[in-house]
Copies of this chain bind each other. A is one copy, B any other.
Amino acid sequence: MSSLAGGKVTLKHIAENTGYSINTVSRTLRGLYVAEPTAQKIKAAAADLGYIGNSVASSMRSGATRIVAVILGDLANPHYSRIVKIIVNYLDRHGYTATIYNTEDNILHEKNAIISSIRQGADGVLICPNEFDGGNVEFLKAAGLPFVVFGRDIADPAVTSVKLDDVKGGALAARHLVKLGCRRILFVNGPKGVATSMERLEGYRQAPAGLGIPNDKDNVLFAPGLFNTVSADERRWAVLARRICRMDFDGILAFSDQMALKVLQVLRNEGFSRIPIDRIPVVGFDNIMESFPLPLPLSSVGYAGEDMATAAPALLMEMLRGGDFKPRHLVLDVMVYARG
């Protein structure tokens, strides 16, 4: 590499070095048709000079950045970090770069993330929107950027989305516990009003009464929040823990694996060791044990077939390829990963 000394190597330098025009160099390096001997000389010169293209300039002219923006609430949640990892790898294999926006489940941050995605010229967006997103998805749609919503369903038929079958998940989880002999299930659900919480609850209640599942309202608790830094309120969790300890149950269903662990942790911290996971079945959602080792018999509801983390970018790539893309609302199948 004879280049390290003087600044960035550009197409112009290669052109001057080989005697060909900038255009021919550009065409060669992009693999467009050029006479073989010419191409060889140019490629050799490019390698020799240590040429690395300038995507800013190329994006400027072509209008495409090969950047995909990924917008979500909490990257530290193992469920999401696993998803992001798979997305990043997927995009990489397809020649795209991922920019990550962590909104902390804040609507304003989310809006800014969308604006930033537009500003930087992202070719597309993968977004797991806040449940109360106050029109951000609408805004994104109006911007004309191709995007896929994951982890949530959007009523708009023009919006493409991928999510798990939460109603079925709730039902399967309940059935699983009943089959294990549970008759008084405690459901520690997500926050009230969150669509996913409501769907899982619906499934939980749908599960055939014949199986002996109690639909007692008192056995359903709503968590004080998800796990973004902002809403994690230790005191409210402690209150919840004390309440749980006064209740009567023989199995636990939690909104997510993380929440299941949180509940167990808080019970432990509060000194209520009388509810060991080794003695009472616990079921969560997300199946985080797939990517994270846990020495606990935590069962979990997770995807049964196609993975959301793969499906979402796959759909986006399809949109980006052009052609006539018909919006879709994928609801992926789920199953219980039993552990005990």
Contacts and interface: CB of A to CB of B under 8 A. Distances in A.
Residue in A116, A291, A293 whose Cβ sees the most chain B Cβ within 10 Å: A293
A279 interface: no
Contacts of A54: 119, 121
A57 to B, nearest CB: 6
B119 A52 contact: yes
B261 A293 contact: yes
A277 B276 CA distance: 13
A120 B97 contact: yes
Contacts of A119: 52-55
Interface string A283-321: 000000001111110000000000000000000000000
Contacts of A295: 261, 264-265, 267-268, 277, 296
Contacts of A78: 76, 78, 81, 292
Contact of A115 (B52, B88, B100, B258): B52
Nearest to A70: B100
A51 B119 CA distance: 10
A74 B97 CA distance: 16
A334 to B, nearest CB: 20
A244 interface: no
Nearest to A59: B56
Nearest to A7: B144
B262 A293 contact: yes
B99 A99 contact: yes
Interface string A148-186: 000000000000000000000000000000000000000
9 contacts: A75-B84, A89-B104, A92-B101, A92-B102, A92-B109, A261-B293, A261-B295, A264-B293, A277-B295
Given A67-B99, A261-B295, A265-B295, 10 more contacts: A53-B119, A55-B121, A67-B120, A76-B78, A92-B109, A97-B120, A99-B100, A262-B293, A295-B296, A296-B296
